[in-house]
Chains A and B, each alone.
Chain A
Amino acid sequence: MPEILALLIAPDWVRSLTGERPPNVFWAEYIVWPLIQIVIVLFVVLTVVAYLVYFERKISAFIQARLGPMRVGPWGILQPAADGLKLLLKEDIIPIKADKLVFSIAPIISVVSTLVVLAVIPWGAAWATIANVNIGLLFVLAVSSVSVLGLVLAGWSSNSKYSLLGALRSSAQMVSYEVGMGLSIIGALIFARTLSLSGIVEAQRADGLPYFLFQPLGFLIYLISALGETNRAPFDLPEAESELVAGYHTEYSGFRWALFFMAEYTAMLVTSAVAVTVFLGGWYFPGLDWIKSNWGPNIYVLLSVAAFAGKIAVLIYAYMWFRWTWPRYRYDQLMELGWKWLIPAGLANVVLTGVWYVLALPEAQGGVFGFVKQTAGRYVPTGYGKIYFILTGFIITIPLSWALLATINRRSRDFNLHDQRQLQIKLRSERIKRNEPVAE
């Protein structure tokens, strides 16, 4: 615990900047140092977000055997700057029939609620984290649940049928996929025993393995729900171009539109960052401790930040890959996947992980196998324990949940659209057989 608390302490040069004596470090630790961190994180993240758009265009181009942006700078690498300038200089159009106040605050709600989450994400070891909050994960879920409001209000205030339909779809989708996302994380929390994001990284470091090995089903559910939560393809129904023009931001132009785009890509970055923190070991990689003792603390922190960024980049590449290679889901398929597969699978994962964990506890704690030992105030799986958790996760949890859900979903088909349609066809054919009048 003291190691985690040490994350917040400002370095000496900040303290000399505020000129405070050691016991009184309020300004250095709560005002000046966090402000410096926030400015750096915002600058880096917003630049990265601008370049994510560039990479999205490049990757989509390569997948479709095109070249993508090539004109602005070598290989088009200055394209984001040109786009940003264009969007800033564009005319800001507010439709006459729009609700002006709500129309102008909706993009702000959207952007702010995604940017606030950046404050609690552990970007790296030691001083690279802005705030290590005791309720970290809950904070992330809470703030990102508010971002739905931005989309809903944008759609409503535009006074346009495309915007309204897009907003209805996005709010229904995000509210449903949020549940699955929250449930998928709980399994990993059973192992970490903390909600603090830095604490979860430290727990994976102490356990020796990233939690996606113990929680394959949870990781899978999280990845799929995160796609739905960020409105990315194959779940990009809220902005399905062929049906809704552009969804909730149809009526937006210029920089307000850019704010929505920024919010969308930042949300992608944030969900990937949470996935990396909870399931992929965060900023830690094997050999980092050796680097700390041999190369000094600063290189150690910088390398940890690089490791975190690298893991995020892999996930974001996967997101883009999914988007340009998979067709879009139909709306009822989307809801069925969310409510009848992801949420029950998340519940099954919580229950089964709980059972495996209790069985692995030592006998004094009410367990059977004793694969988990208490060392330094934490429960750490032993060598056999690691193998046990990986095997139960991959070989029992996934097939068991799958079999269970497949059986239940096959038997409870009365809410199933396909089944209803088949029933109507059957009734209609029976009426035709009896020569009764049939509605066309």
Chain B
Amino acid sequence: MEKALFIIFAVVSVAAALNILLQRNPLYSALSLVGTLIALSALYVMLRAQFIAAIQIVVYAGAIMVLFVFVIMLLNAPKEAPYIEKHKALRFLAIPFAGLLIAEAFYVIRLVKPIQMPASDDSAQAVGTTLSVGTKLFTDYLLPFEVTSVLILMAIVGAMVLARRGED
């Protein structure tokens, strides 16, 4: 059963990811990206990482993709595909680079060792629940967590300063 679900969601995520590249209309690409993200979050649930799965949907599919679609709508993307400059030399370079990437992917797949899945009802061993993520975040990783939040705060203040209109 779990294998069947994995195959369904894996196929959906890969197909949607390919569709992002193949679509000419940016809005269709954005929608395919939403499909990929949702399929990936289903895969996270199957890895018993429920918290990451929910956050993936909240942050990416919910907030960031809405912003993407918002911007695409506001910019009113042209219907025709933009003219792409074609370099013959680049095309020949692309083949070895693609080969390199595929070789790298195979190397990584060979490197990964199968790990023991945590039992579903063992709450003490569960790593993906909100409890374990929150405990780790506020004890072992408190400093990185706080530093990240300060970084985000700086970004917000920076945006405010840049967006601020003059007094006259």
Binding site for B on A (CB under 8 A): 1, 5, 26, 99, 101-102, 133-135, 138-139, 141-143, 145-146, 148-149, 152-153, 155-156, 164, 167-168, 171-172, 175, 178, 195, 414-415, 420, 423, 427
A252 to B123 alpha-carbon distance, docked (Å): 48
A135 to B128 alpha-carbon distance, docked (Å): 10
Majority SS of interface residues in chain A? helix
| Partner of A427 from B1, B31, B168 at Cβ < 8 Å | B168
A40 to B9 alpha-carbon distance, docked (Å): 27
Contact status of A102 and B31, CB under 8 A, knowing A146-B62, A195-B130: yes
Contact status of A175 and B66, CB under 8 A, knowing A102-B27, A135-B130, A195-B130: yes
CB proximity of A117 to chain B, nearest CB, Å: 12
Interface centre among B1, B55, B69 (most CB of A within 10 A): B69
CB proximity of B125 to chain A, nearest CB, Å: 14
B16 within 8 A of A: no
Report 26 cross-chain contacts, Cβ distance below 8 Å, ordered by A residue: A1-B123, A102-B27, A102-B28, A135-B54, A135-B129, A138-B54, A138-B55, A141-B58, A142-B54, A142-B58, A145-B57, A145-B58, A145-B61, A146-B62, A149-B65, A149-B69, A152-B69, A152-B73, A153-B69, A167-B73, A171-B66, A171-B69, A414-B167, A415-B164, A420-B165, A427-B168
Residue of B nearest to A174 (CB): B66
Chain B hits for A171, CB < 8 A: 66, 69-70
Residue of B nearest to A26 (CB): B1
A216 to B54 alpha-carbon distance, docked (Å): 27
A139 to B66 alpha-carbon distance, docked (Å): 18
Q: Are A5 and B50 in contact (CB-based, < 8 A)?
A: no
Chain A hits for B31, CB < 8 A: 102, 153
Q: Are A142 and B73 in contact (CB-based, < 8 A)?
A: no
Residue of A nearest to B41 (CB): A142
Q: What 14 new A-B contacts, CB under 8 Å, besides A146-B62, A168-B74, A414-B164?
A: A26-B1, A135-B50, A138-B58, A141-B54, A142-B54, A142-B62, A143-B57, A145-B61, A146-B61, A152-B66, A164-B73, A171-B70, A178-B63, A195-B130
CB proximity of B132 to chain A, nearest CB, Å: 11
Residue of B nearest to A1 (CB): B123
Contact status of A133 and B70, CB under 8 A, knowing A146-B61, A195-B130: no
B residues 48-96 in Cβ contact with A at 8 Å: 50-51, 53-55, 57-58, 61-63, 65-67, 69-70, 73-74
Q: Are B50 and A133 in contact (CB-based, < 8 A)?
A: yes
A142 to B27 alpha-carbon distance, docked (Å): 21
B121 within 8 A of A: yes
A164 to B27 alpha-carbon distance, docked (Å): 14
A26 to B4 alpha-carbon distance, docked (Å): 15
Chain A hits for B66, CB < 8 A: 145, 148-149, 152, 171, 175
Contact status of A5 and B54, CB under 8 A, knowing A102-B27, A148-B62, A175-B66: no
CB proximity of B128 to chain A, nearest CB, Å: 9
A195 to B54 alpha-carbon distance, docked (Å): 12
Contact status of A168 and B1, CB under 8 A, knowing A133-B50, A138-B58, A148-B62: no
Q: Mark B27-57, 1 if CB is under 8 A from A, else 0.
A: 1100100100010000000000011011101
Chain B hits for A423, CB < 8 A: 167-168
Chain A hits for B55, CB < 8 A: 138, 142
Q: Are A168 and B73 in contact (CB-based, < 8 A)?
A: yes
CB proximity of B145 to chain A, nearest CB, Å: 16
A139 to B57 alpha-carbon distance, docked (Å): 9
Chain B hits for A178, CB < 8 A: 62-63
A1 to B123 alpha-carbon distance, docked (Å): 10
A141 to B65 alpha-carbon distance, docked (Å): 15
Chain A hits for B73, CB < 8 A: 152, 155-156, 164, 167-168
| Partner of A152 from B28, B70, B164 at Cβ < 8 Å | B70
CB proximity of B29 to chain A, nearest CB, Å: 12
Chain A hits for B54, CB < 8 A: 135, 138-139, 141-142
Q: Are A145 and B62 in contact (CB-based, < 8 A)?
A: yes
CB proximity of B33 to chain A, nearest CB, Å: 11
4 shortest interchain CB distances as A-B pairs:
A145-B62, A142-B57, A138-B54, A142-B58
Interface centre among B63, B65, B66 (most CB of A within 10 A): B66
Chain B hits for A153, CB < 8 A: 27, 31, 69
Residue of B nearest to A164 (CB): B73
Chain B hits for A415, CB < 8 A: 164
Residue of A nearest to B121 (CB): A5
CB proximity of A366 to chain B, nearest CB, Å: 14
Chain B hits for A138, CB < 8 A: 51, 54-55, 58, 130
Chain B hits for A148, CB < 8 A: 62, 66
B residues 109-168 in Cβ contact with A at 8 Å: 121, 123, 129-130, 164-165, 167-168
Q: Are B63 and A145 in contact (CB-based, < 8 A)?
A: yes
Residue of B nearest to A195 (CB): B130
Chain B hits for A427, CB < 8 A: 168
A146 to B1 alpha-carbon distance, docked (Å): 27
Q: Are B58 and A134 in contact (CB-based, < 8 A)?
A: no
Q: Mark B13-28, 1 if CB is under 8 A from A, else 0.
A: 0000000000000011
Residue of B nearest to A140 (CB): B54
CB proximity of B50 to chain A, nearest CB, Å: 5
Residue of B nearest to A101 (CB): B28
Residue of A nearest to B53 (CB): A135
CB proximity of B143 to chain A, nearest CB, Å: 20
